[in-house]
Amino acid sequence: MAFDGAFLSCLKEELESTLIEARVDKIHQPSREELVLDLRSRGCSKKLYISARANSPRVHFTEIALENPSTPPMFCMLLRKRLIGGRLTAIRQPGLERALYLDLDCVNELGDIVQLTLATEIMGRHSNIILIDSDLKIIDSIKRIDFEASSIRPVLPGLEYSPPPVVAGRMDLSMCSPDEVIDTMMKGKDGPLSKALLSISHGLSPLICREVSHLATRGRDPNIQGLTQEERHRAIFYLGRIKGAVETGENRMPYILYDNMKTPLEFSFMPITQYGLSAVGSQTESFSSLLDEFYAKKDAALRAK
């Protein structure tokens, strides 16, 4: 599944169109690594689901009702104290990083307006939800990471927040052109196009890199030194379509794939063709409804199995 930085960028715009200026009405923590924020804006209300679970980290609107524990966890109590009544002023994503920062204007115990940020990091087993103050100090997090677990990036109350590290040499498509990505890739180590593209790019998942290779080379995925001039141009063209989907919404589409057993297989912000006749794809109404559908059916299939 491709919950990469590019997908998150498309989802971010969906959230922004509804949530900016919304106020936090309720906060629930259904499980140890899940949050649900009830937000009200312009006469409508939305439930924002945030998960830091290793196998299904995500953030999106949800229509699925989740059972809450009788006694809310401490992190939930802290968020209720600090964030309820707060107004969401901005949603930020640095480039195609898999992190969203929800900035809120809240009222502290003295009645002053203070800015707090809820950092949502969608990074597999390293996913986390972190509350940060205006001085970039960590107030608390849904997962505390001590110095023994990580000497490079501990996450503990009182420490200064540092963003997720970016691998040196990776190219962010939101900050460069498709031509630059392909030119840099061609100067690197030889290998299959899909893997070479994955190793040089930041914010693109293996699924998207395989799809670019599949479309550019008609399913061959040759080593980059064996690419024809036409295949290079086609790779640049399809990277350009991804850049357009992320930046302008052109050709953007909430897309879900099912296998022959009607089990959710993949999701993306663009049609996926690499599976041929072994999968069936369809467009959904929104990125949030896509994620609701994908994970609800995925979880049901796993339970049945």
pLDDT digits (tens, 9 = 90+) for 242-252: 999 999 999 89
Residues 81-122: tens digit of each pLDDT:
999 999 999 999 999 999 999 999 999 998 999 999 999 999
pLDDT of 303 higher than 60 = no
pLDDT bin (cut points 50, 70, 90) of residue 300 is low
Residue type for position 173: L
Cβ neighbourhood burial of 86 (10 Å; 0-12, 13-18, 19+):
buried
Question: Average pLDDT, whole number, for the chain?
Answer: 94
Question: Three-state SS string across 6-30, please?
Answer: HHHHHHHHHHHHHHCCCEEEEEECC
Half-sphere exposure of 273 (CA within 13 A, CB side): 10
Q: At 248, phi and psi to the nearest 5?
A: -120, -10
Bridge partners of 101?
92, 119
Residues 27-54: tens digit of each pLDDT:
999 999 999 999 998 778 999 999 999 9
Residue type for position 114: V
pLDDT of 158 higher than 90 = yes
* Token code pair at residue 50: 């945030």
User: 83 and 130 in contact (C-beta within 8 Å)?
Assistant: no
Cβ neighbourhood burial of 181 (10 Å; 0-12, 13-18, 19+):
buried
Residue type for position 158: G
> What does each C-alpha distance from 109 to 11, 113, 114, 218 come to in angstroms?
34, 10, 10, 61
The span from the CA of 186 to the CA of 188, in Å, is 5
User: 100 and 12 in contact (C-beta within 8 Å)?
Assistant: yes
Helix axes 193-200, 229-247, angle to 10 degrees: 40
DSSP symbol at 155: B
pLDDT bin (cut points 50, 70, 90) of residue 166 is confident
User: 97 and 163 in contact (C-beta within 8 Å)?
Assistant: yes
DSSP symbol at 208: H
Q: How many Å from the N-terminal Cα to the C-terminal Cα in the chain? A: 19
Average pLDDT over residues 157-183: 94
Average pLDDT over residues 41-69: 92
The span from the CA of 122 to the CA of 170, in Å, is 18
Instruction: Give the alpha-carbon dihedral of 212, 12, 301, 276, to 10 degrees.
Output: -20
Residues 178-237: tens digit of each pLDDT:
999 999 999 999 999 999 999 999 999 999 999 999 999 999 999 999 999 999 999 999
